[in-house]
Chains A and B, each alone.
Chain A
């Protein structure tokens, strides 16, 4: 049978990210998928050589428009290790709260986009209606909806007073109730399952060999999550990775749905145990040495390699984002799939091309 190459993207194939795949098809069956990148490369790693290391906190937040806070946290934690800075406990807990709020709104964004991807518009709107209230929490507590700039090297810039804490807890109770009402539709509906079950299967062995991270890895049954490393205050909070063994698109959506609920619980735990300390420690000197730091973004493990040479500029800031790691697994999921299933399978790695290209 003759082969045809179909371009998938970069102009909004299923999500407003410039994801571009060259799909080699026989009839409507995918034979091979070849990625093409470069639409939003901004050279952010190179900026580290001309910006002060403190200014880089705000630049790394711009790597991703969704999980900005977690990028800044990873960068700051790496520098704090390099400069031997002990971050106050309250700052660690506040970092957990804001980063989990980011995970909640990122997963809700994805759940809505996924519903939109298989044509369930009303479900899409329900997820985004809930997400909007999480954005309100971000705006009220940090001054902005997404790029909240709460992290600094040594701690955080903002605090949560008692009134705000009570309001967040009240809001989370309402949001959890509303989200649970959508669980049956998202995970049990016949039509939804027809589009997701058995689509884009990735076994646990493949997931590890291909370097999958985050819900893409855990949706194949591998219980690995960088939060297990105990960064910020995660070593003092009750938390187990959410997994699902099926390895298909349904499993990855289930992991994200359950992680959203789990993040609400983590925020509650963090607020209930919020210590009363300073918000930031003094940071002496300039960064020198090499550090590797990892955290868990909504899309998966994020790695920063940092090299300082004693000057105000970093010699090297290397960022490996989760979508960068999840593209090879996506390339392995697609061969054998039908063309109509490509948007669904591609969405289930939650691709963020801004992150990928930096």
Chain B
């Protein structure tokens, strides 16, 4: 029974199965609702893939090292390009195979090239050069 609010029950998924799973969901007519990223604080992130079919959601959880590239699902779901680029900006994640890679400038100005870690996942100040 679809519900508007649910305790998250996400199926664990491995990194090398993410794209094949996305392809399977796409072929079954699922809509990609979005992805959510949570920094676990131990060098890993949880990446949730939220799919919807007729108002019923299905979730997958990928626990992944922050410093290793994540397979991009944007070749399957074009809509993923924004959220994957946003995750680059927010968490400094790398995505392999992004169809349109903003290279960490979806939100940041192209002139800002000096920040190594993601600026939006913590409270910090960035000095923009003149």
Contacts and interface: CB of A to CB of B under 8 A. Distances in A.
Interface of A: 34-35, 37-38, 41, 43, 45-46, 50, 77-78, 80-82, 208-211, 224, 226, 228-231, 289-295, 301, 303, 305, 307, 315-316, 318, 320, 324-325, 327-329, 332, 357
Contacts of A301: 33
A328 B81 contact: yes
Interface in B62-78: 77-78
A211 B4 contact: no
23 contacts: A35-B82, A46-B123, A77-B4, A80-B5, A209-B31, A209-B79, A210-B79, A224-B55, A229-B55, A230-B4, A231-B4, A289-B7, A289-B8, A290-B8, A291-B6, A292-B59, A307-B38, A316-B36, A316-B38, A318-B37, A318-B38, A332-B78, A357-B107
Contacts of A45: 90
B63 to A, nearest CB: 13
Contacts of A230: 3-4
A298 B77 CA distance: 24
Contacts of B100: 34
A332 to B, nearest CB: 8
Contacts of A305: 8, 36, 48, 50
Nearest to B106: A37
Interface in B108-126: 108-109, 120-123
B127 interface: no
A43 B120 contact: yes
Contacts of A291: 5-8
Interface residues of B, number: 40
A324 B4 contact: no
Contact of B26 (A37, A209, A226, A332): A209
A328 B4 contact: no
A38 B79 contact: no
A246 to B, nearest CB: 20
B34 interface: yes
Contact of A210 (B34, B78, B121): B78
Contacts of B90: 45
A176 to B, nearest CB: 28
A352 to B, nearest CB: 15
A229 B2 contact: yes
B98 interface: no
Interface in B1-48: 2-8, 26, 29, 31-34, 36-39, 48
B99 to A, nearest CB: 11
Contacts, number: 110
Nearest to A316: B38
B105 to A, nearest CB: 8
Contacts of A226: 4, 55
A294 B5 contact: yes
Nearest to A331: B78
A76 to B, nearest CB: 10
Contacts of B32: 211
Contacts of B48: 305
A295 B37 CA distance: 20
Contacts of A329: 79
B51 to A, nearest CB: 10
Given A41-B107, A292-B57, A292-B59, A318 B36 contact: yes
Contact of A324 (B6, B29, B34): B34
Nearest to A295: B4
A320 B34 contact: yes
Nearest to B100: A34
4 cross-chain pairs, A with B, having the tightest CB-CB distances, nearest first: A211-B79, A231-B4, A229-B4, A38-B107
A195 B77 CA distance: 31
Contacts of B33: 211, 301, 303, 320, 325
Given A46-B122, A46-B123, A327-B82, A37 B5 contact: no
A292 B6 contact: yes
Q: Could you say which of B2, B32, B36, B107 has the most chain A C-beta atoms within 10 Å of its C-beta?
A: B36
Contacts of A35: 82
B123 A325 contact: no
Contacts of B83: 320, 324
Contacts of A315: 38
Given A37-B106, A46-B120, A82 B34 contact: no
A11 to B, nearest CB: 16
